[in-house]
Structure formats: C-alpha cells, structure tokens
Amino acid sequence: MLIGKTFGSLTVIEYTGEKRISNVSKHDTKHYLCLCECGNTIEVSKPSLEYKLVKNCGCKRFKKIN
C-alpha cells in the first residue's frame, strides 16, 4: 500500500485504479493520486513513484543545462 507514503514532494493520497499507459507498457498499471507540497494534485503510476521518475507535480522541474 502506497497511500500515505511520500515520494519527493508528493504524498500519495488515493488509489485511482489500473490504467494503461500507451507506448510505455502493455499492461495496466496502478495509478495513485498524489498531493504535491505546492498544493496541486497529480495522478502518477505506481512505477513512476517507485522508480522516482516523478517527484513532484511539475512545479520543480530541473533547469535544462543546454
């Protein structure tokens, strides 16, 4: 259960069901609604959370080096 856990700036608040991510996976993936520390909510797939591909709602994007 991921609900209540934090990943970067995100806190998992709700399980939103299994959904397919086109071009990424051939299988349905569990998704969770997460609350960012800035107050926005974002739906994130479980692997994106576990592998820390998504750490916030987009409010803290890294600056491009080039």
In the complex, the residues that contact Zn ion under the rule CB under 5 A are 36, 38, 40, 56-57, 59
With H, G, I as helix, E, B as strand and everything else as coil, classify residue 15.
strand
User: What are the Cα distances from residue 35, in Å, to 40, 52, 62?
Assistant: 6, 15, 19
Report the residue number, 44 or 45, with the smaller CB distance to Zn ion.
44
Please, what is the minimum distance in Å from the beta carbon of residue 13 to Zn ion?
Answer: 14
Report the residue number, 21 or 35, with the smaller CB distance to Zn ion.
35
Please, what is the minimum distance in Å from the beta carbon of residue 2 to Zn ion?
Answer: 18
Helical segments of 1-66, H only: 46-50
Report the residue number, 11 or 40, with the smaller CB distance to Zn ion.
40
How far, in Å, CA of 6 to CA of 31, rounded?
15
